[in-house]
């Protein structure tokens, strides 16, 4: 993950910078429920707990985690909506 340049462009963005557990994961789940199949959600977070919690959330769904990119204290998740 994080190889760059090969990921699809996001169709939607969720900025949860400055929020801490459980807000980033809860907002991601709510947003994913509203999006149509094939959409690419970009989630911007800075809570290190999301590195553990986001994959757990997605593991309980059919959505696909495309990539996790960490840079300058921010974490960028790319998620393909599958349902």
Task: Please pick, among 1, 17, 21, 51, the residue that the annotation labels catalytic.
Answer: 21
pLDDT of residue 14: 98
Residue % of the chain over a pLDDT of 70: 94
- Domains in the chain: boundaries: 16-80
Q: Which CATH number fits domain 16-80: 3.30.110.40, 3.40.50.300, 3.40.50.10090, 3.40.50.720?
A: 3.30.110.40
Residue of 35, 16, 34 lying closest to 25 (CA atoms): 16
Q: Is the pLDDT of residue 13 over 70?
A: yes
In sequence order, the 6+-apart residues with CB closer than 8 A to the CB of 64 are: 58, 79, 80, 82
Q: Is 21 a catalytic residue?
A: yes
Could you tell me the pLDDT band of residue 83, with boundaries at 50, 70 and 90? confident
In this predicted model, what pLDDT tens digit does every residue of 31-69 receive, in sequence order?
999 999 999 999 999 999 999 999 999 999 999 999 999
Mean pLDDT confidence for 13-31: 97
Q: What is the DSSP string of the chain?
A: ----SSSPPPSEEEE-TT--TTHHHHHHHHHHHHSPTT-EEEEEE--TTHHHHHHHHHHTSS-EEEEEEEETTEEEEEEE---
């Amino acid at each position: 993950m994080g190889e760059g340049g090969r990921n699809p462009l996001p169709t939607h963005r969720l900025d949860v910078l400055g929020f801490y557990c459980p807000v980033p994961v809860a907002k991601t789940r709510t947003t994913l429920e509203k999006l149509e199949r094939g959409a690419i959600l970009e989630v911007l977070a800075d809570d290190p707990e999301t590195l553990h919690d986001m994959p757990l959330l997605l593991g309980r769904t059919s959505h696909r985690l495309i990539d996790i990119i960490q840079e300058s204290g921010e974490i960028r998740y790319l998620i393909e909506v599958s349902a």
